[in-house]
Amino acid sequence: MSIKIKLAEKARDVEKALHDYLIIREPKKLYEAMAHIPLAGGKRLRPVMAQLTCEMVGGDGKLSIPFAASLEVIHNFTLVHDDVMDDDDLRHGVAACHTVFGLPTAILAGDSLFAYAFEMIAESNVNDKIKSELVRHTAYTVRRIAEGQQMDINFEEEETVDPELYLEMIRLKTSILFGSAAYGGALIGGKEMEEANELRQMAIWVGLGFQIWDDYLDATASAEILGKPSGSDIRQGKRTLLVIEALNRTNNEDRKELINILDDSNNTDDDVKRAVNIMSDCGALDNCREQALGYLNGAKKTIAKYPESGARTMLEELLEYMVTRGH
């Protein structure tokens, strides 16, 4: 059975929870907007990570469902607001929330999803000590995601960015919510904070690998694998880690050519191919691939400490999928 099918089966309880919470009521336009992106699909990687971590440490995965679903709601609230900020028209293959319901309602929908996540945690069947920590940690995580988003916005004004700053940005914007999934799953599974934090770090590592691999795939995978034109980051002039490493490594002539391609809104397929060749020739492609795999290996070493079980095996498969998908 493929990992995608396993993920879909594992996420069934989360899907049900999302449908139970995101029911349409008055005012209909608001609640339809809230449900629009969360119920449009997605891999549900974060909630599945919470469930599997809970089960791997010996807990009852069913108890983690409300928290797991709340993470998916948090993730989708950030996507709704992200699409507003970037003025993107599509998300999960459907029209972005603001293009369907208008900008004011999309902002309200994002805000309401954020609030809903805390209702879900508050109504979960875990003891009050754990529940209080889940609420605190989730609020902290959302604030840190906002910091990462602001860093990303600031980077748009820069020709290049320090690689360590870029990694900090994706740690906050992308990885930290994976960390929350493992952290909360471990607490619900009965582990103390020290062990939960170790698993949180494991998930942050794999989240970093996930994003770096995404940058790598964009330049190396076919359109059939990506589900979108290859090299879309280059076409949009994004300063991904791959681009940052190339700008820092290549010679002055190639550096100028790469910047010109990135900054040209009318760049062609041949321009994209040339940019990828520059990245390959200077070693940036191989460097990013090795960084992603390094984070994956660090994460796998952490969960290897736990007894063999179905949950551990599937979590290992999940980590592998996140960082090596498409190749």
> Residue 226 has what pLDDT?
59
Q: Are 49 and 178 in contact (CB under 8 A)?
A: yes
What is the topology classification, in CATH, of domain 3-324?
A: Farnesyl Diphosphate Synthase (1.10.600)
pTM: 0.93
Residue 218 confidence (pLDDT): 87
∠92-97-100 over CA atoms, to 5°? 115
Mean pLDDT of 62-69: 97
Q: How many CA atoms are closer than 13 Å to the CA of 220, on its beta-carbon side?
A: 18
The tens digit of pLDDT for each residue in 191-233 reads 999 999 999 999 999 999 999 998 899 888 766 665 556 788 8
Report domain extents, the chain.
Answer: 3-324
Distance between CA 211 and CA 205 in Å, rounded? 10
Q: Per residue in 75-100, pLDDT tens?
A: 999 999 988 887 777 787 788 899 99
What is the DSSP track for 33-66? HHHHTGGG----HHHHHHHHHHHHTT--GGGGHH
Place of tokens 């990694």: 167
